A and B are shown apart, each in its own frame.
Chain A
């Protein structure tokens, strides 16, 4: 991951919900994303009560849970993906899922199957420091924290110091999947972050849905994360490979 951020600009990170639209689609979709030039993958662990996510991702999570997705299954799928796919993979999920699996076992297993890092939006900084930081360092796994337009400069610096891999820059006051163009006040916020000269790379997420918003985000950060727009594209597809390839081409065109 470090190498990716050191050598590349305009990084495209695509989020997908594991086990969606069909239980066994995860591997196909990730392979297609990678072969079409996506730089990084964020695999969502479907959760019943995803507070930070909007309706699109919650609905895809409900479908995936009903499809029978489990954390063990996701690890199996990632192991399969890793047979051919080399780009960084991070897992995104909620802390309760990690706790129920058993945090130590979860991080160890993730390492074994080839995961590079995590985004756990409801994991407090202090709990991370007390309970998980050391293990992740030992396993050489990254932890990404979020920053928002309301996060103070002082707190951004604290979050930057604790984060490894990259910082997730939440573009606006919203849950995932809200649309509309990036507004002037958001640009100001991106500029503020850029001026802080942080140690971590930054990826902008929430509201990045097409080529225009992706390009704007890339002007102010190392790249961007697209989630809900991709999940929406998968909603009614009969051919996940074709839809996935077309979606990536639309962003990278």
Chain B
């Protein structure tokens, strides 16, 4: 349990709940109830049923033979891209919506950057017939039009965040403010392993299904449930948290987190938090974040909107600082090349986020007999405009 949150939500020195008193009651209510509810039999029955019959789990663990040949290792892809709505995000929204219902909440709010979490939230709200309001930075609304349309078709209101830099961090601020103003009937459905305790732990538990299945599938396919390496991209870090979860204490399994270097770590246009960030507090959590020496949080940059967050979840800060995790980065161009490569080798168009994880294959030393799992967190449909632009240039 070295890498799990303690009762106050700390992973080593990271985590906790650094929140104004106006949020105390909401967060305390959640903290007091989440474990009891999600461990209950009725919750687990409903959760498992929806994951199987609605989301389409288990997702395949696919032995990518041509990719393996190219990199001279045994490479598996965990196909989270095959989930309903196209990414791992729905594992968490299904879990939290069932929790919100059991807590008697009537109104769901969420933040979204690229819109994947917003779509996953709008989807489960439609399913459960709950009111849904998604905060999204004004700038992101303009550059992610298809997802905005999906959310609206699903019945959600998409409200622009007009403050600050008008991107994901500001959408998160606005969602938190909404929760402060509507503490009784509203549930804040956070999309990543960020925010005040218990969110990082709760979201990691819902995403842990990824590594739970991975273990069973590896056992069945190779006879050994432990791979040598697991690779996942990290923005806030929810897909990586899920892919690592059941291997955290298996120290012989290398956990490789890949951040978005953007134009390059040293260019100032990057989202590689562990490389350019420092310890501090963002959205109620003590973690690593990108900031100036005044403590003002700075704007990240990545071609991938899902990795464009100026912090990492406290679990990842702990994995980084303790050395349990290996943190690498991939630039925009490296990710684009990796996306192209996977598409042509395996006939799978990955999301730009997941392409960052694939790009790490070039950056690690691989042995012929090694087993590597890359968590393919999402599909590339939403990124076609970017890919087409690249192909035509």
Taking the closest CB of chain A, its distance from the CB of B294, in whole angstroms, is 5
A124 touches B177 (CB 8 A): no
Q: Is A47 an interface residue, CB under 8 A from the partner?
A: yes
Q: Determine, out of B17-25, B252-260, B369-377, the stretch whose residues face the partner at the interface.
A: B17-25
Q: Is B181 an interface residue, CB under 8 A from the partner?
A: yes
A51 touches B280 (CB 8 A): no
Closest-by-CB residue of A relative to B176 is A51
**B-side contacts of A70, CB under 8 Å:** 294
Taking the closest CB of chain B, its distance from the CB of A164, in whole angstroms, is 16
Q: A51-B284, A59-B163 are in contact. Are A146 and B20 (CB under 8 A)?
A: yes
**B-side contacts of A161, CB under 8 Å:** none
B280 touches A100 (CB 8 A): yes
- Chain A 140-166 per-residue mask, 1 if CB under 8 angstroms from chain B, else 0: 000001111011000100010000000
A48 touches B20 (CB 8 A): no
- Chain B 342-364 per-residue mask, 1 if CB under 8 angstroms from chain A, else 0: 00000000000000000000000
B22 touches A49 (CB 8 A): no
Q: Enumerate B8-35 residues with CB–CB distance to A below 8 Å.
A: 8, 16-25
Closest-by-CB residue of A relative to B169 is A49
- Chain A 55-83 per-residue mask, 1 if CB under 8 angstroms from chain B, else 0: 10011001001000011000000000000
B21 touches A49 (CB 8 A): no
Q: Is A54 an interface residue, CB under 8 A from the partner?
A: yes
B182 touches A95 (CB 8 A): no
A173 touches B20 (CB 8 A): no
B16 touches A173 (CB 8 A): no
**B-side contacts of A98, CB under 8 Å:** 295
- Chain B 307-322 per-residue mask, 1 if CB under 8 angstroms from chain A, else 0: 0000000000000000
Q: How far is B25's CA from A139's CA once the two chains are assembled, in angstroms?
A: 32
**A-side contacts of B333, CB under 8 Å:** none
Closest-by-CB residue of B relative to A54 is B177
B169 touches A173 (CB 8 A): no
B21 touches A148 (CB 8 A): yes
Taking the closest CB of chain B, its distance from the CB of A77, in whole angstroms, is 15
Q: Is B217 an interface residue, CB under 8 A from the partner?
A: no
| Total chain B interface residues with beta-carbon distance under 8 A | 38
**CB < 8 Å neighbour of B164 from A49, A54, A100, A122:** A49
A146 touches B295 (CB 8 A): no
Taking the closest CB of chain B, its distance from the CB of A225, in whole angstroms, is 15
B281 touches A95 (CB 8 A): yes
**B-side contacts of A148, CB under 8 Å:** 21-22, 24-25
**CB < 8 Å neighbour of B181 from A55, A96, A175:** A175
Closest-by-CB residue of A relative to B280 is A96
Q: Is A123 an interface residue, CB under 8 A from the partner?
A: yes
**A-side contacts of B295, CB under 8 Å:** 47, 94, 96-101
Closest-by-CB residue of A relative to B165 is A48
Closest-by-CB residue of B relative to A126 is B8
- Chain A 193-221 per-residue mask, 1 if CB under 8 angstroms from chain B, else 0: 00000000000000000000000000000
Q: Is B366 an interface residue, CB under 8 A from the partner?
A: no
**CB < 8 Å neighbour of B21 from A94, A100, A121, A127:** A121
**A-side contacts of B25, CB under 8 Å:** 148, 150-151
Q: How far is B17's CA from A170's CA once the two chains are assembled, in angstroms?
A: 20
A170 touches B22 (CB 8 A): yes
**A-side contacts of B267, CB under 8 Å:** none
- Chain B 274-290 per-residue mask, 1 if CB under 8 angstroms from chain A, else 0: 00001111111000000
Q: A49-B282, A52-B20, A122-B20 are in contact. Are A150 and B163 (CB under 8 A)?
A: no
B22 touches A48 (CB 8 A): no
Q: Is A174 an interface residue, CB under 8 A from the partner?
A: yes
Q: Is A178 an interface residue, CB under 8 A from the partner?
A: yes
**A-side contacts of B296, CB under 8 Å:** 47-48, 65
B180 touches A175 (CB 8 A): yes
Closest-by-CB residue of B relative to A100 is B295
A123 touches B173 (CB 8 A): no
Q: How far is B112's CA from A187's CA once the two chains are assembled, in angstroms?
A: 37
Q: A58-B164, A151-B25 are in contact. Are A97 and B180 (CB under 8 A)?
A: no
B18 touches A95 (CB 8 A): yes
Q: A70-B294, A96-B282, A100-B293 are in contact. Are A49 and B183 (CB under 8 A)?
A: no
Closest-by-CB residue of A relative to B19 is A122
Taking the closest CB of chain A, its distance from the CB of B330, in whole angstroms, is 27
A52 touches B22 (CB 8 A): yes
B164 touches A62 (CB 8 A): yes
- Chain B 162-188 per-residue mask, 1 if CB under 8 angstroms from chain A, else 0: 111000011001001100111110000
Q: Is B130 an interface residue, CB under 8 A from the partner?
A: no
Q: How far is B24's CA from A49's CA once the two chains are assembled, in angstroms?
A: 18
**B-side contacts of A155, CB under 8 Å:** 24
B280 touches A147 (CB 8 A): no
Given contacts A62-B163, A170-B21, 7 further A-B contacts (CB under 8 A): A49-B169, A51-B19, A51-B20, A51-B173, A54-B177, A62-B164, A100-B278
Selected A-B contacts with CB under 8 Å, 10 pairs: A49-B283, A51-B176, A51-B177, A100-B293, A100-B295, A122-B18, A124-B19, A146-B22, A151-B25, A174-B181
The 4 residue pairs across chains A and B that have the minimum distance between CB atoms: A100-B295, A121-B20, A150-B25, A146-B21
